[in-house]
């Protein structure tokens, strides 16, 4: 049973259709990421849920009630912005207590809740500070506490980590996830960073040009992308073009090597893809596809070695783990790469 339902959501600005037939069911307590390139409509979807934009058509239901007609201040939704947006004239405690004060809560109730929230975000002693006296990461934590304090039904975060530096970004994203789990709050998290989305989401919605291309758990999105866009956008990818010999039997020829795919294909040629970690340098038990290749370059990254090679004129990248007793091949060397035909992704659309 979905707690937050977006059905057939559409939004146009003038003649520009920004969100097209967007459907999503979010379960109670679920953490959903909207992932996609700049301008694909992520923020617009979020702003429609928050009530800052009115959908051109479609419905938004929270706990079964349609909220489209409601104003933003009647929706009981917590929002965290990329730009922090703390009230500069108020202390941290006043910021966090703002929502409760609006609701008419008593002073004791507010101060108890503020203390609780500040402890939750790990800043119990900073209540008396002003926003300009905090670091970016601290400000964003306070913004999170402020959004959560009035116990909203849904939490929306629009690229909350984009303005922070890399280290803070990673620690804060894990913290956000922990807090979200602890409170069990239904959350939509907008990002254009695939690693962010993959690491913390229950499910990811990959958006492209206003459409939800694929919805699924990170493992599925990464390993079983259903569209070429998703395959390319999420993670690194090696793409091959293979000629079809017997489509019904799934028999194709990849750079002269016969390959049998687990599923039937159609047409004269088919686009296949494999993740860098699916390719293996040399032969291995279970890897039924052997591809002769020439090493182009070798990047030693520490625990992982990324090798660039050419297979029948097509560039591929493969990742192998570093082993102290096994030096990587030199550029120009002729090698064999192997993979399991089950790891080949057939790219549609």
Partner 1 sequence: MSLWGRLTGWIVLIFGLTYFALPLLGLTEFSLKARRGVYSLDAYAKVIADPEFQATFGYSVMMALVTIALGILIVVPTAFWVRLKMPWARPYVEFITLMPLVIPAIVIVFGYIRLYNTSSWLPLTGSIMGTNLLLAFGYTILALPYMYRAVDTGLRTIDVATLTEAAQSLGAGWVTILGRVILPNVIPAVLSGAFLTFAIVIGEFTLAALLDRPAFGPYLQRIGANKPYEPFALAVIAFGITWACMGLIQLVTRFSKHSKVAR
Ligand X SMILES: Nc1ncnc2c1ncn2[C@@H]1O[C@H](COP(=O)(O)OP(=O)(O)OP(=O)(O)O)[C@@H](O)[C@H]1O
Task: State the residues that interact with ligand X by CB under 6 A.
Answer: 13, 16, 18, 36, 38-44, 192
For Mg ion, which is the closer residue by CB, 50 or 110? Answer: 50
Instruction: Specify whether the CB–CB gap between 241 and 269 falls below 8 A.
Output: yes
Nearest approach, Cβ of 167 to ligand X (angstroms)?
22
Q: What angle do CA 186, 187, 190 make, to 5 degrees?
A: 165
Q: Which does 87 bind (CB under 5 to 8 A by kind): partner 1, Mg ion, ligand X, none?
A: partner 1
Nearest approach, Cβ of 284 to ligand X (angstroms)?
40
Instruction: Tell me which of 9, 11, 35, 43 binds Mg ion, using CB under 5 A.
Output: 43
For Mg ion, which is the closer residue by CB, 191 or 287? Answer: 191
- Which residues of this chain interact with partner 1, rule CB under 8 A? 50-52, 71-79, 81, 83, 85-89, 98-99, 102-103, 130-132, 143, 146-147, 150
For Mg ion, which is the closer residue by CB, 43 or 208? Answer: 43
Is 33 a binding residue for Mg ion by CB under 5 A? The answer is no
For ligand X, which is the closer residue by CB, 192 or 275? Answer: 192
Nearest approach, Cβ of 41 to Mg ion (angstroms)?
9
C-alpha span between 337 and 323 (Å, rounded): 17
For ligand X, which is the closer residue by CB, 16 or 266? Answer: 16
Write out the residues near Mg ion by the rule CB under 5 A. Answer: 43
């Amino acid at each position: 049973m979905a707690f937050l339902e977006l059905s057939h959501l559409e939004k146009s600005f003038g003649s520009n259709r920004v969100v097209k037939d967007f459907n999503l069911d979010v379960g109670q307590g679920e953490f959903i990421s909207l992932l996609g390139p700049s301008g694909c409509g992520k923020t617009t979807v979020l702003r429609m849920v928050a009530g800052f934009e009115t959908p051109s058509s479609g419905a938004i239901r929270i706990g079964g009630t349609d909220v489209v007609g409601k104003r933003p201040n009647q929706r009981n939704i917590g929002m965290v912005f990329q730009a922090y947006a703390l009230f500069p004239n108020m202390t941290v405690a006043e910021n966090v207590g703002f929502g409760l004060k609006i609701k008419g809560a008593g002073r004791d109730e507010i101060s108890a809740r503020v203390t609780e929230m500040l402890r939750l975000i790990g800043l119990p002693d900073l209540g008396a500070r002003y926003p300009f006296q905090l670091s970016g990461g601290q400000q964003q934590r306070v913004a999170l506490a402020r959004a959560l304090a009035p116990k909203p039904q849904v939490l929306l975060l629009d690229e909350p980590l984009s303005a922070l530096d890399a280290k803070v970004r990673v620690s804060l994203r894990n913290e956000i996830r922990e807090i979200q789990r602890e409170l069990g709050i239904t959350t939509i998290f907008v990002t254009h960073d695939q690693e962010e989305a993959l690491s913390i989401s229950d499910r990811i919605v990959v958006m492209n040009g206003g459409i939800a291309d694929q919805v699924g758990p990170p493992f599925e999105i990464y390993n079983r992308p259903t569209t070429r866009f998703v395959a390319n956008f999420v993670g690194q990818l090696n793409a091959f073009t293979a000629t079809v010999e017997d489509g019904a039997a799934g028999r194709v020829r990849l750079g002269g090597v016969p390959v049998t795919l687990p599923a039937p294909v159609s047409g004269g040629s088919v686009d296949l893809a494999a993740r860098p970690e699916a390719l293996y340098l040399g032969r291995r038990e279970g890897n039924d596809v052997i591809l002769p290749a020439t090493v182009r370059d070798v990047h030693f990254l520490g625990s992982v070695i990324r090798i660039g090679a050419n297979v029948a004129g097509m560039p591929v990248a493969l990742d192998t783990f570093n082993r102290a007793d096994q030096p990587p091949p030199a550029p120009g060397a002729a090698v064999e790469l192997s993979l399991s035909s089950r790891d080949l992704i057939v790219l549609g659309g």
